[in-house]
Amino acid sequence: MNPDFDLFVIGGGINGVGIARDAQGRGLKVGLAEMDDLASKTSSASTKLFHGGLRYLEFFEFSLVRKALIEREVLLRAMPHISWPMRFVLPYHKDMRFEGETPTSKLLSTVMPWMKGRRPSWLIRLGLAMYDNLGGRKILPRTRTLHLQTNPVGKPLKSKFKLAYEYSDCWVEDSRLVVLNARDAEERGAKIMTRTKVVSAERVDGLWSIVLEKDGKQRTVAARGLVNAGGPWVEDIVKNTVRLNSTEGIRLVRGSHIVTKRLFDHEKAYFFQGEDGRIIFAIPYETDFTLIGTTDAEHMELNEAPTATQEEQDYLLEFANNYFTQTLTRDDIVWTYSGVRPLYDDGAKSATAATRDYVLSLDTNGPVLLSVFGGKITTYRKLAENVLAKLEDHVGGTGDWTAEVPLPGGEFPVSEVNARIRALKEDYPFLSDRWAKRLFRAYGTDARDILADSRSATDLGQDFGADLTEAEVRWLMKKEYALTAVDVVWRRSKLGLRLNDDQIRAIDDFMKSAA
């Protein structure tokens, strides 16, 4: 039996598409199956940051933090349209505490018991100095100290906060990151199959025989190697799809977020520390909103869709209310979302303490199987490189290449973003400032392909609201695997925050008729 693919990937989240893109670029013939839409689960429900993980320093995860810090600027250069630098303001107060089980907390409790679990300012400054220097920086500025009584970022905060530290990380449009990796993989020759479930996979005559199901119809393909990048389903795939015994498992941890109307009038984010030792972010979101999150809660049922529980919403509101002068209630919440992180089960006592690093499990008892446990969005590209290094002796494919190659639409320097937005508006004067910015931030240089030779908004076809036009929807259907309105307004964009139910139904009706 001749193989259809050198490598077949199960899972259309960020790790799956990152691996598919890297492998195809190395000359392998790649197939990928995702049972739903791309980024339909965890990879569209993150806090949307490329970051080193400042709080992971308290768990002595220095290697993980260093890898992530190095990656921030690599990724920023590869996708300057969907990722951008962001400054984070960390207010300080003496009541801040460690999460009780961190190695740093235990160490300080031993050598400085009079601190009683406090997170001292000198330790925060030390951590930020490490954060500035562990991974090196060429684009992002270093940490600085702010006096909140005189700096505008102190205006939304309660008066008890006098001092803050401002440091750098990066924002990323997470679900667009997934789609652009998939697009690039397919443009290089990979076969990307959405709404396609892997029913079973077994080793037959030196190959993987993989049964796929789409729209109730089944077919079988063969591959020399198999990658299980099923995210929360990785353990289930090992046990029930591939039917192998394994002692490795995952810990399902739910992270929930709330979105409110805009709470402050600047573009910096806040890093809030709680008296329980946890942290949350409050981040400018989609121009008119503020994103607040995340929680860390055990999620016990794999097939139960994660939702932001009332308890989690109240927790985030109370946390934010300890900082902001404006008192937030449930009435201020305009949207919530929640995702399940598939963390490698390292036996940690709490969800917060579980490692965010990844483990790659290789099974060479016949055609190779590699399963991805854990991981975080910032390290997806390095994870893919490490996967291909482990598979090289089994399926071939040599040469790391993704570090210097931009994703579709990102073929320009980070420093030119604002100039290119202005140029887009000059060339298409019917665009408003907001519309031009949204298009370029979503599509980069591809925005001009969507607008083509249009000279007015009417040239772009039906207007669905919030500056979403027929031309853009057709582009998303043709180029970005969108099949439903939900794909368009909640994953390819976040226009669901601005469109009502009737408008979203109109998009669905159009897409069905245009399919």
| CATH at residue 264 | 3.30.9.10
Q: How confident is the model at residue 112 (pLDDT cuts 50, 70, 90)?
A: low
Q: Are residues 182 and 76 in the same domain?
A: no
Is 220 in the same domain as 301? no
List of residues 6+ apart from 403 with CB closer than 8 A: 74, 78, 381
CATH code, 470: 1.10.8.870
119 band by pLDDT with thresholds 50, 70 and 90: low
Residues 421 and 487 in one domain: yes
Q: Looking at 141, 170, 199, which one is the last position of a domain?
A: 170
244 and 255, same domain (yes or no): no
Non-local (6+) Cβ contacts of 464 within 8 A are: 470, 473, 499, 503, 506, 507, 510
- When comparing pLDDT for 344 and 73, which is higher? 73
Span 110-118, average pLDDT: 60
101 or 239: which leads in pLDDT: 239
Co-location of 163 and 206 in the same domain? no
Give yes or no: residues 229 and 364 share one domain. yes
Does any domain span residue 14? yes
Q: Compute the distance between CA of residue 45 and CA of residue 79 in angstroms, rounded to an integer.
A: 19
Q: What is the predicted pLDDT for the residue at 73?
A: 92
219 with 255, same domain: the answer is no
Residue-wise pLDDT tens digits, 383-442: 999 999 999 999 999 999 999 899 999 999 999 999 999 999 999 999 999 999 999 999
Q: Is 54 exposed, middle or buried (0-12, 13-18, 19+ CB in 10 A)?
A: buried
The answer to the question of residue 56 being in a domain is yes
Backbone angles phi, psi at 321, to 5 degrees: -65, -20
Residue where a domain stops, chosen among 136, 170, 204:
170
User: Is the CB of residue 224 less than 8 Å from the CB of residue 6?
Assistant: yes
Residue 350 belongs to a domain: no
193 and 230 housed in the same domain: yes
Write the secondary structure of 142-164 as one string of H (helix), E (strand) and C (coil): CCEEEECCCCHHHCCECCCCCEE
**Residue 401 placed within a domain:** no
Q: Do 222 and 152 sit in the same domain of this protein? A: no
The answer to pTM > 0.85 is yes
**What are the Cα distances from residue 416, in Å, to 80, 213, 371, 408?**
9, 45, 39, 16
Query: How much is the pLDDT for 273?
Result: 87
Statement to judge: residues 308 and 262 lie in one domain:
yes
CATH number of the domain encompassing residue 30:
3.50.50.60
40-54, 132-146, 424-438: least confidently modelled range: 132-146
Task: Please determine, for residue 208, whether its predicted confidence score (pLDDT) is greater than 80.
Answer: yes
Specify burial of residue 386 (Cβ count, 10 A radius: 0-12, 13-18, 19+): middle
* 287 plus 143 within the same structural domain: no
> In which domain, by residue range, is 504 found?
416-514
pLDDT at 117: 58
Residues, the chain: 515
Q: Which of 283, 315, 282 is nearest to 296 (CA)?
A: 315
Q: How many separate domains does the chain show?
A: 4
Residue 330 has pLDDT above 90, yes or no: yes
Residues 304 and 365 in one domain: no
pLDDT of 488 higher than 70: yes
